[in-house]
Structure 1
Amino acid sequence: MTRLDIAFSVNKVSQFMHAPLEQYWKAVKRTLCFLAETINFGVEIHRSNDFRILAFCDLDWVADPVDRRSTTGYCIFLGVNLINWSSRKQTAVAKSSDEAEFRAIADAMTNTMWLQKILYKMHIPTGLPLILFCDNQSTVLMSQNPILYS
C-alpha cells in the first residue's frame, strides 16, 4: 500500500494470475529483487497544520494494445501528505484522449469530494476550493463549460 513505485508492475502481473507465463514470472522476480534493494523506501507522513486538499490526475491513453482501455491515475494530498491514490483501467474505451482525460478528472474529483465530506464529518476544515491539477488544456476547457460539451 505504501509502495507507489511498484503499483503498476504488481497490477500488470496480477492480470495474468489465471494463466501465468514465464515472462510474468520473470517480472515478479524482478519486482521482488527491486523490493529487496529498496526496503527502506515508502510514503512518509509529516505533521502539518495545512488541511488543503490538492489532487493531481493523469492518464495513459490506450496504453494497453490488448483491450484498448486507458489507464487513469490520480493522487490526493492533504497538505503535504499523500493520503489517497489510484491507478486503474477505465471501464470503457474512450474515443479520444480528451474523453479519457475527462473521465480521469471526474474520477479524481469524485474521490476528492468524498474525502472532503469525510473530513467535514470529522470536523476538519479543508477550505475551498478543491484544487485539481490536470495537464490537458482542452479537457480543462470542457470542464469549465459543461453546457457546450455533452
Structure 2
Amino acid sequence: MGLAIFCLIFGFTVGYLWRDSRPEKRQKEAPKTKARNIYLSYNERQRAKIRHQSDAERIRELNLLSTNESKFMRLLQHQFTEYKIIIKDKRFYIADQDYYPVAIFEYRDGTKELRLQDKEDGIPVFLYKAILSSEALEEDKLLLKANGA
C-alpha cells in the first residue's frame, strides 16, 4: 500500500514537472491591418501622398538618397525656404505650412541633362536629370508663384 501511494505521488510530481518543462505553443497573432477609408476627399488624398507612417520611415527615406539626390535636396531647401521639403518614394514634395503639397520634384542621375514638367492630380511635377543648378530651380519657383502656388 505504501508503494502504491509513493508511485502515485511520484507519478504526479514527474507529470507536473514534465508539463512545465514543455515549450508552450504560442498562438500566432493575426497581422494588424490598417483600416483605411477608401473614400478620401481630394485634399485628404494629396496630404496622404506626403504623410509618413512613422519617424523611422521618414529617416529611412533620407538614408536611401544618393549623393546627387542629397545635393538636389539641399538646393531645394535653399530655394524653397518658406516651404517644407518632404521626401517620399525618392520624390521631393514641396509642402506649405499645412503640409499640403504644392509641387513635386524628381531627380534622376544621368549623363544627359534633361528637365521636364508635367502635372499629377493637379500638382506640377518637375523632373530633373543630371542638372544641379539653382538657376533652373529658381525658374521653376517663379513659375510656381506665377501659377498661384
TM class by smaller structure: under 0.3
Bigger Cα Rg = 2
Taking structure 1 as the reference length, what is the TM-score of the superposition? 0.22
Query: What's the TM-score, normalizing by structure 2?
Result: 0.22
